[in-house]
Structure 1
Amino acid sequence: MELNRSNQRNAVMAGFLGWMLDAFDFFIVTLVINDLAKAFGETRTRIAFASSMTLMMRPFGAIIFGVMADRFGRKLPLMLNVIMYASVSVACAFAPNYTVFLVLRMIFGIAMGGEWGLGASLALESVSPRYRGLISGLLQEGYAAGALLASLVYRFVYPDFGWRPLFLIGGLPALLAIFIRAKVKESPAWHEHKTTDWASYGRAITSNWKRFAFLVLMMTMMNFISHGTQDMYPTFLEQHRGFLPIERANTTMIAYLGAIIGGLAFGWYSDHTSRKRAMVTGLICCFLFTPLWIAAPTALWLTVGAFMMQFFVQGAWGQVPAHINELSPNAIRGFFPGFAYQLGVAASSLFPYVQAVVGERFSYAWSMGILAATVFAAGAIVITLGPEAKGVSFRKH
């Protein structure tokens, strides 16, 4: 069963929008850390800890929704996931204290952990292998588009209405479930490989443990890189460089515009070279641009550095959906890549908190610059030593 172009487009759109709107809510928190600290009478490091707990809960979502995806298909779990994270976002707007907010962010982490694996497997199983790198870049940059959207909403809503309405807007993604229900077809690859025998399902997981361990290590490095350059950057701009809210929003928007362009450009590049080469090239460039990103002498050059950093960070990230789905067994693609991804997230979940603690003790520039440069180098080494399966077929024939 082949999908026509309309169905392929709808599958990619569902994956992209699901990840974009999920990321929108996550990045709202990074933009209002100071407001949340004041509202709940907590320190900035405690609010950063809530973001870390969101990341730490994501593997639980990958297990729950990943197993559902292999058993019942990609479509239904994706609908339920979107409704779940949109509902939690609305609830955050009414959080009366830090404890309630922390619990809600942990629940949001479960939803966020399930979305990526569902959307990536649905979209990449629905398109031609020839364009998998480019589509992978598009899907992954749903995350950057969500950050850009969060910055836009913050720029125009926050000055007049404060932080709570930002989370109310995060409830709008529930409408995406209607689109998925009406327009998205189930993955043909899932129909061919769908799980009916739990014993063989378990064997497929355990027999590929070495591949799984590598993916977890690689995704740990990649999440160190993304969260290490993104989550505390608005706080750095405010605390270390004295940026006003509008200036922070503008710089963040420019940075994530660079991220979207970088993800697409390097995704296309990986289709014409290799996944590993594209990822390592991006990380080498990240290392070279670290001084401009964190220590530029003027606001203009700092903004240029932010643009270039996210161009190459997301350039390296653009291949991730294609790379880890190609390295995953067909019968467990709903679970395997998503769970590896989210275990990497959990392993790196305290990185923003560590950056905040070190930044408060010394400076955010020192904290972010040294830690980021270290993980750029480590990530490039891990990727270089790992396997690749570019262009592998997801179908039986």
Structure 2
Amino acid sequence: MDYRRKTVVASVAGLTLEGMDIMFISFAMSMIVSHFNISLATGGLISSITNIGMLLGGIIFGIMADKFGRVKIFTYTIILFAIGTALTGLATNIEQVYLFRFIAGLGAGGEYGIGMALVAEAWPKNKQGRASSYVSVGAQYGVILAALLSAIILPTLGWRALFFVGVLPVIFAFIVRKNLDESPEWLASQKKKNAVKEDKGKLAQLFATPRVAFTTISLALMATVQIAGYNGLMIWLPSMLQKSQGLSVSSSALWTISTAVGMILGMLVFGQFMDRLGAKKAYGIFLLASAAAVFLYSFATGSAGVLVGGAIVGFFSNGMFAGYGALISSFYPVSIRSTATNTIFNFGRAVGGLSPILVGYILQNYNMTTAMVYLAILYCLSFTIMLTLKNAQSSQPVITLQPAEKY
């Protein structure tokens, strides 16, 4: 297997395990809320705290990956989120659930950007959109895996047993460390770093000039909408469908699988669109279609309508997830690429991760239609921001480092 394929396989597997871990909370949410006797909004805070951990972990491990190597830090992040997931199953109160989900978030936040950086550095620019999409579908494989495991484990063994499965990624981490070589582009950059002046910290370089700062903020806002939309759809809807449509846990798992299949197809199509049409056109089409799809979905009725509508919403709303690794990587040089990808996308996770609290409040006090209108407005906002981006998918990063002065 050549190096390009190895980076995709490792990154897909990592994101699959991360996606599985995140969706465990969705399926176990009603049981956790009942077990600890908490409100829906308090339950939504579990995912929000996880996403805050992702932001901090993304920054810390992104910087470490740029400094010490992609593969080494990648394996550490996987081990960390595996430990946090397993510990969640031992929590005796909601405060411990928050703590252990924060730990899991630290590892998961680092894993995403490092994997995307590995792929971006291994594949040519005209194929990075589809390569990024191959990796991104891993999260949906994780959703499907979580749905199947939840349907089997929750009714018989309870929610704690579900999180004990989270220790398995430790095995995967050792396999990756043994079989995947370091990024050649990163190794080459290390040889040149003595000839480069880096008088600013890596985070500061994301705001080095007004143009770079504007790009960083714009990408962070787009990522925020992406995560807010995803969380709004996937965290609460399985529970709400159980009530509004009278679905069992197994039936809501079928809805989740249907939606995840739509997401996978959307990601693969989006990757092709991005490489062939460019980032702006690809995002423009999918953002506007997402706004229309989530609004119309609020009027879906019956099992067929719920399943097919969920697949269509998933196709457009999460198909765009496939492009962020390639999109963000295209704006920053290798020396800060992992830092940029992790910081920007995990900022979106942290802020967009607050969405379950708001969606939980809307669903509890209003209705599903109001929640879907909220999501549609978010996608229209992201579309407006996307129009302001300059030189998306350009062959040159928006920031370059200057040769060191000779003294």
Give the TM interval when normalised to the shorter protein.
Answer: over 0.9
Give unpaired runs (5+ residues) of structure 2: 402-407
Q: Residues of 2 paired with 1:247 and 1:308: CA distance? A: 18
- The alpha-carbon distance between structure 1 residues 393 and 125, as it changes in their structure 2 partners (threshold 3 A), is farther
Residues 76-115 of structure 1, C-alpha deviations (whole Å, 9 max, x = no match) = 1101000100111111111111111111111222112111
How many angstroms apart in 2 are the aligned matches of 1:339 and 1:56? Answer: 11
Q: Does structure 2 conserve the Cα–Cα contact (< 8 Å) formed by 1:90 and 1:170?
A: yes
Which residue of 1 is the match for residue 116 of structure 2? 120
Deviation at 1:328, TM superposition (A): 1.7
Alignment of 1:299-314 (within 5 A): 299-314=303-318
> CA separation in 1, counterparts of 2:318 and 2:217?
23
Q: Does 1:254 align with 2:255?
A: no
User: In structure 2, what residue type is equivalent to 1:352?
Assistant: P
2:299 to 295, 304, 312: 295
Cα pair distance change 1:76/1:231, threshold 3 Å: same
* Cα displacement (A) at 1:117: 0.8
Verify the 8 A CA contact 1:11 1:184 in the aligned structure 2: yes
Match of 1:228 among 227, 232, 237: 232
Aligned match of 2:283: 279
Distance in 1 between residues matched to 2:336 and 2:302, nearest whole Å: 50
Structure-2 change in CA distance of 1:266 and 1:205 (3 Å): closer
Structure 2 Cα separation of the partners of residues 297 and 213 of structure 1: 39
Per the alignment, residue 239 of structure 1 pairs with 243
Instruction: Give the Cα separation in 2 of the matches to 1:231 and 1:34.
Output: 11
Does the CA contact (< 8 Å) of 2:270 and 2:282 recur in 1?
A: yes
Question: After superposition, what is the alpha-carbon deviation per residue over 1:236-286, rounded to whole angstroms, capped at 9, x for unaligned?
Answer: 212322211111001101110111111011101211111121122112222
Indicate yes or no: 2:380 matched with 1:377.
yes
Distance of 2:272 and 2:95 partners within structure 1: 44
Q: Distance in 1 between matches of 2:167 and 2:198?
A: 36
Percentage of pairs with the same residue: 24
One-letter amino acid of the counterpart of residue 289, structure 2:
C
Distance 1:200 1:376, change over 3 A: closer
Aligned to 2:126: 130
Q: How does 1:78-117 map to 2 (within 5 A)?
A: 78-117=74-113
C-alpha separation in 1, matches of 2:219 and 2:366: 34
State how far apart, in whole Å, the 1-side matches of 2:328 and 2:391 are.
9
Cα distance in structure 1, aligned partners of 2:139 and 2:252 = 19
Q: Which amino acid is the alignment partner of residue 75 of structure 1?
A: V
What SS does the aligned partner of 1:389 have? Answer: coil
Question: SS at the partner of 1:334?
Answer: helix
Q: For residues 131 and 94 of structure 2, what CA distance do their matches in structure 1 show?
A: 39
Corresponding letter in the other structure for 1:374: I
Q: Does 1:56 align with 2:52?
A: yes
Whole-angstrom CA distance in 1 between matches of 2:371 and 2:235: 10
* CA deviation profile, 1:282-320 (whole Å, cap 9, x unmatched): 122222222442221212111100001001112222211
Over 3 Å counting, the alpha-carbon distance change for 1:105 and 1:237 in structure 2 is same
RMSD: 2.0
Do the aligned partners of 2:238 and 2:256 also contact (CA within 8 Å) in 1? yes
Q: Which runs of 5+ in 1 are unaligned?
A: none
Q: Which amino acid aligns with 1:204?
A: Q
What residue is the counterpart of 2:366 in the other structure?
362
In the alignment, which residue of structure 2 is the partner of 1:204? 205
CA contact under 8 A between 2:295 and 2:376: conserved in structure 1? no
Q: Is the 8 A contact 2:331 2:396 kept in 1?
A: no
Letter in 1 for 2:199: A
**TM-score normalized with structure 1 length:** 0.93
Tell me the TM-score normalized by structure 2: 0.91
Partners in 1 of 2:17 and 2:69 — Cα distance?
22
| 2:324 matches 1:320 | yes
SS in 2 for 1:110: helix
- In structure 1, what is the Cα distance between the partners aligned to 2:101 and 2:299? 32
Deviations 1:98-149 (A, max 9, x none): 1111111112221121111111001221122232111111112222221111
Q: Whole-Å Cα distance in 2 between the matches of residues 210 and 373 of structure 1?
A: 24
Aligned to 2:20: 24
Q: Is the 8 A contact 1:215 1:340 kept in 2?
A: yes
Q: Distance in 1 between matches of 2:96 and 2:198?
A: 37
Alpha-carbon deviation of 1:377?
A: 1.1
Q: What amino acid does structure 1 have at the position aligned with 2:321?
A: W
Distance apart, 1:60 and its partner CA: 0.6
Distance 1:379 1:349 in 2: 16
Residue 49 of structure 1 deviates from its aligned partner by 1.0
Q: Is the 8 A contact 1:7 1:183 kept in 2?
A: no
In structure 2, what is the Cα distance between the partners aligned to 1:272 and 1:40?
50
2: CA distance, partners of 1:289 / 1:373: 8
Q: Report deviation, 1:393.
A: 6.4
1:27 positional shift? 0.7
Farther off after superposition, 257-266 or 377-386: 377-386
CA distance in 1, matches of 2:353, 2:266: 24
1:149-164 superposed matches below 5 A: 149-164=145-160
Residue 386 of structure 1 is matched in structure 2 by: 389
